[in-house]
Structure 1
Amino acid sequence: MGFNMSWLFVDGIDEEVLYTMLDLVATDVRPDPYDLGTSRVPLAGSRLKSGWSAVFAKYSLVMDAMFGTSPPRVARLPSPSRCLACVVLEHAMISYAGFWQDGRPVWEVRHDGGDHLEATGDLPAEFAAIRDAGMTKQRAKKPGPWGVDHLFDVALDAAAGVTNYRHDHDVAPDFFTDLRTLVPAEGNVLTRLSQPPTWWQTAGSIEYE
């Protein structure tokens, strides 16, 4: 089945402030880090040793932080701050990374499967090397339905270049400093993307389940 999860990292802000700006509330439950983004732990957050504050979610829930309101919730983030959102949907071979700074979008990278790769904005200097490596591997892959989708990793590697985090890589035991489950504020029930972006139809579903 693979990974179907998303995460959002923000620096220059306390984690409790981040949760409030995203309309989330921390509980006293301490989840297993290996369950992040699953049905067992659909929503969690933590302060990280690196100084970032983070929210981890099942499926594409952090997309609502990017697109679910007008203006988007990430526009509430104070200056100076940096925000990196990442979505990985292996069932549809979709990967996405979007970077905001001081409440404004800076760049995004999106892969919708196959040979599709779209990158816009003021991309980081190392992005060209990440993209070229992925495209070289993609062109060299063996044809057929079981070939590896190397472009899928481009957005994830671009995000990791900023945060030094990938969902499928091991982290140090002290990576999380205060990992707790989160719930929507005021009893709101988040079950589907409220305002999916126009390209989201490639995912096949706007439901979180």
Structure 2
Amino acid sequence: MGFSISWLGLRGLGIEEAAALLQVEVGDQIDAFDAPMNAYANENWAIVILDECRFPGPPDQFLAAISKGRELVVVHIEEHVMFSHAELWRDGRSVWKVGHSGDQNVRDLHATGDLSASFETLRQQAFSKQDEEDDVDYVFDIPLDLAAELTSFRHDEWAPDRLFFELVEKRA
């Protein structure tokens, strides 16, 4: 089956601040990110996880607005078609975007913007592995690894100390 989610990483915010920015409230603590909208925070990032892939996602105007004064990482994942996309926004501007759509071509990779220094290393490693074993889609991980380098979060890596909270609509 696989994951079909989108998530946002907001540097420098806690869960309460991220919820306020997105005009929702923090609900109950939950064991995993299985609610329609979930939040998790590590020491530097608030991660907001949506229970479905919403690519192309929010319009650029929205991303520009919520990234003002901070870094924002946006990730979209559709594992059943091997689609992954990540982008970095900083202070209202798009910095880079990297996407992979492996359902037609496992070597598909689109990248624009001012990419991190590690992008080329990740690309070379993935394509080298892909050359050795064509049955596994290694290129799929490039956008996810770039996002994880910044946020220390991957949707498919479990840590027992992670606390997730449901985000809910504001009560009237």
Q: For 1:99 and 1:151, how far apart are their aligned partners in 2? A: 18
Q: Is this contact kept in 1: 2:88–2:97, CA < 8 A?
A: yes
Aligned residues: 169
Give the C-alpha shift of residue 32 in structure 1. 0.9
Q: Is this contact kept in 2: 1:44–1:55, CA < 8 A?
A: yes
Residue of structure 1 in register with 2:145 after alignment = 157
The residue type paired with residue 109 of structure 1 is V
More strand by share: 2
- Runs of 4+ in structure 1 off by over 6 angstroms are none
Q: For 1:47 and 1:63, how far apart are their aligned partners in 2? A: 24
Aligned pair 1:90/2:89, yes or no?
Answer: no
Give the percent of matched residue pairs that are identical in Structure 1 and Structure 2: 31
Residue of structure 2 in register with 1:120 after alignment = 112
Q: For 2:8 and 2:113, how far apart are their aligned partners in 1? A: 19
Choose from 48, 67, 71 the match for 2:61: 71
Using the size of structure 1 for normalisation, the TM-score is: 0.72
Q: For 2:56 and 2:167, how far apart are their aligned partners in 1? A: 16
Residue of structure 2 in register with 1:168 after alignment = 156
Give the C-alpha shift of residue 4 in structure 1. 1.3
Q: Mind listing any 5+ residue stretches in structure 2 that lack a counterpart?
A: none
Using the size of structure 2 for normalisation, the TM-score is: 0.86
Choose from 26, 46, 56 the match for 2:49: 56
Residue of structure 2 in register with 1:201 after alignment = none
Q: Mind listing any 5+ residue stretches in structure 1 that lack a counterpart?
A: 188-209
CA RMSD of aligned residues (A): 2.2
Q: For 2:94 and 2:80, how far apart are their aligned partners in 1? A: 27
The residue type paired with residue 110 of structure 1 is G
Residue of structure 2 in register with 1:200 after alignment = none
Q: Is this contact kept in 1: 2:15–2:26, CA < 8 A?
A: no
Give the C-alpha shift of residue 138 in structure 1. 1.6
